[in-house]
Chains A and B, each alone.
Chain A
Amino acid sequence: MIARECGVFKTTYEADMALYPLPIARWTVGGLVVLFFAVLPLTLHEYYLSIVNLIAIAVVGALGLNILVGYTGQISIGHGAFMSVGAYTAANLAVRLDCPFWLAVPLGGLMAALVGAVVGVPSLRIKGLYLAIATLAGQLIIEWTINHVTWISGGAQASIQVPRPRLGGLVISSQRGMYFLLMVVVALAVIGAMNLVRSRIGRAFVAIRDHDIAAELIGIDIFRYKLLAFAISSFYAGVTGVLYTYYLGVANYEQFQLVTSIDYLAMIIIGGLGSILGSIFGAIFITLLPILIRYLMEAFGGLFFSTQVVLNLIPNLRLILFGALIIGFLVVEPEGLNRLWRNIRTYFRVWPFAY
């Protein structure tokens, strides 16, 4: 961190846009790879790995939503439904056609991308508030359809059991196995998103976000790029849905209701709109929040309240803290955790010298 930028001069645009902004970044990435692929899975207990897995799944979804909301400036309150589309696609493929895991993930994503693009069609004519309401309608209609069409939802309680993921002859049944799978997917998702936002397409997204009419005037096909943003974002959402389904072992629409859409929106608001790192921070934060509250209340709540009160307190306290955090971040730190992280880095950039 200290003096790491010394002697680095960028003389070309390519160097300025490179994935590794500094030579030392290669070492950081190498360190992260060792941490996530060797240190964590070998040291963490199975239970903590299951939490890390949950975070990993949320990271993929938050990245996707951030591409749409943070980078393209379109609002979607329907991402929970796109996830359920991916989930049920994969579950049906796995059960009916015996489709393997590595194929179910992209296929679920593609189906969600298709549905997402259809829901995104109104975005050409309507924007802002109206788009928010249109995607809300999309969420409710998809939810209803999956719940009522037994051909999709498999009938009883609208849930489908999926087999454990298989890679070749290897059946992945433990959290540790799932962890490695998820880490590969997350790495792909992060690299994909980082490359997307610095490409021509990503630049077009940002132009549309900043001023759509101006973007159209400089020759960006708004309709195409808006639909593309919806499709890419929904692809990520669909993949999230598939991963979550394999994580739980069952596809169930109750996991992907309006509340889920709002959770993911909260992730990118708290993490930071228009930032890859922010999506990751937000996913970690929102996933850990209910777990921490439950843990703290079960450990210390009994000291102050009766068991009955604690049981009532846990879910409601989660809602209240969740809402308060969203509002708090919006009012005090609109750029989210990512901004806080950048502030810390800037502070240490020339530390211990003041200037």
Chain B
Amino acid sequence: MLDWQFLALLASNGVLIGLMYSLIALGFVLVYKATDALNFAQGEFVMIAAFAVAAGLTAYHAPLWLVVVLTLAAMVAFGFGLERAVLRPLLGRPIVAIIMATIGLAAILRGLGPLVWGAATKALPLPVSDEPFAWGPLLVPPIQLVGAAVSLLFLAAFGWFFLRSRRGIAMRAVADSQQVALAMGIDVERYFALAWAMCGVVSALGGIIWGSMLGVDANLSVVGLKVFPVVILGGLDSIPGAVVGGLIVGIVENVAAGFVDPYVGGGTKDFAPYILMILALMIRPYGIFGKPIIERI
């Protein structure tokens, strides 16, 4: 006998969490879409931004808006610098080189955060109450609601950016074919840098929300591993895909955790999304919204 109220509660939490996954996945998709690089350091981007915000709020007692603005600016600068120093020399190299470069970057960031700001878990206090509010049978923690709202806002903003703005259209052209874009007079390398900077912005927002929910330490970067099921399900190069993938992963992991955990002793949350991902890879590797790859010799 299914407990419908329990299911609704799990699913509603899953939707909110899923939207927050979408936000992080968005950074990943932006980079992949424009530069064809797989960013294995996505979770570490989120972590380092959360570290910066937590340190700004608790150690330097700066006002929230100032910290957020400074972190966003720093992450943009970081994105530009990263593209120039690391990714550009690796253009045209085998995929394993780019993957390993981002893995190396992840290691650096994971060492740098605790080195600069200390390894202890830090709180990231946002002006949001901790009391979950009840809405019918549903219990909604306000921070998740804020996170979901921010995610939706930015997903919409990026949707507009890609469909309507001049830069967004140029970026889509770069993503479609770098050579043709070059021939049309688009400065491809500049858009690569822009993609990494946008990834930095999204990661910073993700870091503030996830850091506030989970506390800030090096383990926050594990959130980045959840990005892979999200983007594989949705399609590596699709923004709507990031939303749908995030929702699917959020709902599936919450519901699975609620119903399966009592039997296997916990941990289903970290397991179910990957099973789903393997299935997706077998059946439809380019995802729900991704564009199929056609190979020619």
Contacts from A to B (Cβ < 8 Å): 69, 73, 75, 122, 125-126, 128-130, 132-134, 136-138, 140-141, 144, 147-148, 213-214, 217, 262, 265-266, 269, 273, 312-313, 315-320, 322-327, 330-331, 334
Q: In the complex, A191→B108 CA distance in Å?
A: 36
Chain B residue nearest to A69 in the complex (CB) = B96
Q: In angstroms, how far is the closest chain A Cβ from the Cβ of B111?
A: 3
Q: CA of A269 to CA of B264 in the docked complex: distance in angstroms? A: 38
When chains A and B are docked, how far (Å) is the Cα of A319 from the Cα of B110? 7
Q: Are A75's CB and B95's CB within 8 A? A: yes
**Contacting A320 at CB < 8 Å: which of B93, B94, B107?**
B107
A330's partner among B101, B110, B278 (CB-CB below 8 A) is B101
| 21 A-B pairs in the complex with CB atoms less than 8 angstroms apart | A122-B282, A132-B95, A133-B281, A134-B278, A134-B281, A136-B228, A140-B225, A144-B271, A217-B297, A266-B103, A266-B104, A316-B119, A317-B111, A317-B115, A320-B107, A323-B103, A323-B111, A325-B104, A327-B104, A327-B108, A330-B90
Are A323 and B115 closer than 8 Å at their CB atoms?
no
Checking B97, B99, B115, B297 against A316 with a beta-carbon cut-off of 8 angstroms, the contacting residue is B115
Contact of A126 among B111, B112, B267, B285 (CB under 8 A): B285
A325 to B114, CA, bound (A): 19
Interface residues of B in 216-248 (CB under 8 A from A): 225, 228-229, 232, 236
Q: Are B111 and A320 in contact (CB under 8 A)?
A: yes
- Whether B86 and A327, one on each chain, are in contact in the complex, defined by CB atoms closer than 8 angstroms, is yes
Determine whether the beta carbon of A316 is less than 8 Å from that of B295.
no
B249: interface (CB < 8 Å):
no
Q: Which residues of B contact A75 (CB under 8 A)?
A: 95-96, 99
- Chain A CB within 8 A of B275 CB: yes
Q: A147 touching B267 by the CB < 8 A rule?
A: yes
Extra 19 A-B pairs, beta carbons < 8 Å, given A122-B281, A125-B282, A316-B112: A73-B94, A75-B99, A130-B285, A132-B99, A134-B277, A136-B225, A137-B278, A140-B270, A213-B295, A213-B297, A269-B96, A312-B118, A318-B111, A322-B107, A323-B104, A325-B104, A326-B107, A327-B86, A334-B97
Considering the chains assembled together, what is the distance between the CA atoms of A312 and B297 in angstroms? Answer: 52
Bound-complex Cα distance A126 to B278 (A) = 11
Residues of B within 8 A of A128 (CB): 95
Residues of A within 8 A of B111 (CB): 315-320, 322-323
Summed over the interface, the residue pairs from A and B with CB atoms below 8 Å come to a total of 132
Q: Which of A132, A137, A316, A323 contacts B106, CB < 8 Å?
A: A323
Interface string of B253-297 (1 = CB under 8 A from A): 000000000001101001100110110011001000000000101
Residues of A within 8 A of B94 (CB): 73
A320 contacts B103, C-beta separation under 8 Å: no
Residues of B within 8 A of A73 (CB): 94, 96
Please, which residue of chain A has its CB at the minimum distance from the CB of B44? Answer: A323
Question: B25 in the interface, Cβ–Cβ < 8 Å?
Answer: no
Q: Which residues of A contact B96 (CB under 8 A)?
A: 69, 73, 75, 132, 269, 273
Interface string of B79-104 (1 = CB under 8 A from A): 00000001001100111110111011
Given the complex, which residues of A lie within 8 Å of B103, measured CB to CB? 262, 265-266, 323, 326
B169 → chain A closest CB, angstroms? 25
Chain B positions within 8 Å of A136 at CB level: 225, 228
Interface presence of B47 (CB below 8 A): no
Distance of A279 from chain B, by nearest CB (Å): 15
C-alpha gap A147/B277 in the complex (Å):
20
Once the chains bind, are A330 and B228 in contact (CB under 8 Å)?
A: no
The answer, among B90, B108, B264, B267, for a CB contact under 8 Å with A324, is B108
B265 touches A320 (CB 8 A): no
Bin the interface of chain B by size. 35 or more
- CB pair A320–B281 under 8 Å, yes or no, is no
Q: How far is the CA of A136 from the CA of B277 in the complex (A)?
A: 11
How far does the Cβ of A324 sit from chain B's closest Cβ, in whole Å?
Answer: 6
Residues of B within 8 A of A140 (CB): 225, 270-271, 274
Check A148–B265 contact: CB distance below 8 A. Answer: yes
Q: Are B108 and A320 in contact (CB under 8 A)?
A: yes
Collect the chain A residues with CB atoms within 8 Å of residue B278's CB. Answer: 122, 134, 137-138, 141
Bound state CA distance, A330 and B103, in angstroms? 12
B108 touches A323 (CB 8 A): yes
Selected contact of B115 from candidates A148, A265, A269, A312, CB within 8 Å: A312
- A residues less than 8 Å from B267 (CB atoms): 144, 147-148
Contact of B107 among A125, A132, A214, A262 (CB under 8 A): A262
- Check A133–B228 contact: CB distance below 8 A: yes
Q: Across the two chains, which residue of chain B brings its CB closest to A217? A: B297
Say yes or no: is B204 at the interface (Cβ < 8 Å to chain A). no
Please encode chain B, from 170 to 212, with 1 for each CB lying within 8 Å of some chain A CB and 0 for all others: 0000000000000000000000000000000000000000000
Beta-carbon contact of B107 and A319 below 8 Å: yes
Using Cβ atoms and an 8 Å threshold, which residues of chain B touch A217?
Answer: 297
**Is B16 an interface position by the 8 A CB rule?**
no
Closest 10 CB pairs of A and B: A319-B111, A326-B104, A323-B107, A323-B108, A320-B111, A316-B115, A316-B111, A323-B104, A137-B274, A327-B104
A226 to chain B, nearest CB (A): 15
Task: Tell me the nearest residue of chain B to A324, going by C-beta.
Answer: B108
Nearest A-chain residue to B102, judged by Cβ? A327
Q: A125-B285, A331-B86 are in contact. Are A141 and B275 (CB under 8 A)?
A: yes
- Residue numbers in A under 8 Å from B277 (CB-CB): 133-134, 137
The CA of A73 and the CA of B228, in the complex, are separated in Å by: 21
Chain A residues near B264: list those with CB within 8 A. 148
Bound complex: CA A138 to CA B228 (Å): 12
**In the assembled complex, which residues on chain B have CB atoms less than 8 Å from the CB atom of A126?**
281, 285
User: In whole angstroms, how far apart are the Cα atoms of A321 and B96 in the complex?
Assistant: 20
B217 to chain A, nearest CB (A): 12
User: B residues within 8 A CB of A129?
Assistant: 38, 95, 99, 236
A134 CB contacts on chain B under 8 angstroms: 277-278, 281
**Closest beta carbon of chain B to A311's beta carbon, Å:** 10
